[in-house]
Amino acid sequence: MNKLWNNHMHCEFSGDSDTPMEDMITSSIKAGMYGITLTDHLDLDYYSSPHRFDLDIDSYRKHYDSLTDSSMYNKEFEVLWGIELGLQPHLAEKHEEIISSYNFDFVIGSTHQVDKIDPYFPEYFEKFGVKGGVRRFFEVTAENIEAYKNFDSYGHLDYIIRYSDEAKKLPYEEYSDIINEILALLIDREKALEINTGAFKFGLKEPNPCIATIKKYKEMGGKLITLGSDAHKTEQIGVGYDKISGILKECGFNSYFTYKNRKPIEYTIG
């Protein structure tokens, strides 16, 4: 199997990880990654603790430079610098100010908050119910993509189902209308769809998004796929990576992409 890139992972600069950046890099080499992109969280206005995910971007960059300029690891192993933006419609202008001020290689857009609640917390499904909660999540996802265009790949599109055992059983068909609307927006804006293998940590049998959604993206004309395990700890780096080539082929793709200086680079799978 070809070595694959991992374009979604977190380290100590994310509010929910305390893994040193250096450890993520050295463990990624050991885990057999082709290269990696660090994508620490920026989630402004995070409802339950408003500043928990306020990424210190200058320190994040400085530390990245200090490690990648040193000779601590083989220079042939490429480490790129990215960010995962927690989208909310009212943050579009603020995000643009930030993204245009730094030279990120790669920007992931994700939905982590819906009407000021992260579905990670049980109160989300208590408030919206299971079906209502999943649907509301996808509606807000579409609103987020409409509101903010300056990202490269959309992260873990059906993230919501990680957090409810009931939601895990709901098929793509239940929400295909709104999911297809989201896919059409991504394709129209030439955005990549991420295959996020972090799903396997949550007992899911398919990545986020599910296979049916990835197939639909292909069928509708989507060409750009990015890969990531959403690791927050070193032992999570290779989660689900043994399944990726099979998933790509099953969905009709023979390549995936990484982004460098915000430009897509294609990698063919063997």
In the complex, which residues of this chain contact Zn ion (CB under 5 A)? 84, 110, 230
Q: Which helix (H) or strand (E) holds 39?
A: strand 35-42
Of the pair 66, 109, the CB lying nearest Zn ion is at: 109
Q: Which is nearer to Zn ion, 118 or 230 (CB)?
A: 230
Which residues lie below 8 Å from residue 94, measured CB to CB, with a gap of 6+?
A: 44
* Residues whose CB is less than 8 angstroms from the CB of residue 154 and which lie 6 or more positions away in sequence, other chains included: 108, 109, 110, 145, 182, 186, 191, 192, 193, 194
Give me the least distance between CB of 230 and Zn ion, in Å please.
Answer: 4
Yes or no: say if 202 and 239 are a contact pair by the CB < 8 Å rule. Answer: no
User: Measured between alpha carbons, how far is 230 from 232 in angstroms, rounded to an integer?
Assistant: 6
Closest CA to 64 of 29, 95, 36, 96: 36
74 vs 104, beta carbon nearer Zn ion = 104
Distance CA 266, CA 258 (A): 7
How many other C-beta atoms can be found within 10 angstroms of the C-beta atom of residue 265? 11
Q: Are the beta carbons of 197 and 244 closer than 8 angstroms?
A: yes
CB of residue 233 vs Zn ion: minimum separation in angstroms?
A: 12
Q: How far is the CB of 43 from Zn ion (least distance, A)?
A: 9
Rank residues 2 and 121 by Cβ distance to Zn ion and give the closer one.
121
**In the chain, how many H helices and how many E strands?**
9, 9
Contact 192, 223 (CB under 8 A): no
Residue closer to Zn ion by CB (options 35, 82) is 82
State the nearest-atom distance from the C-beta of 70 to Zn ion, in Å: 26
Give the nearer residue to Zn ion in terms of CB position, either 84 or 152. Answer: 84
What residues does 41 pair with on adjacent strands?
84
Is the distance from CB of 195 to CB of 154 less than 8 angstroms? no
- Please report how close the Cβ of residue 71 comes to Zn ion at its closest, in angstroms: 29
* Least CB distance to Zn ion at residue 147 (A): 18
Closest separation in Å from C-beta 177 to Zn ion: 24
Q: How many CB atoms lie within 10 A of CB 62?
A: 11
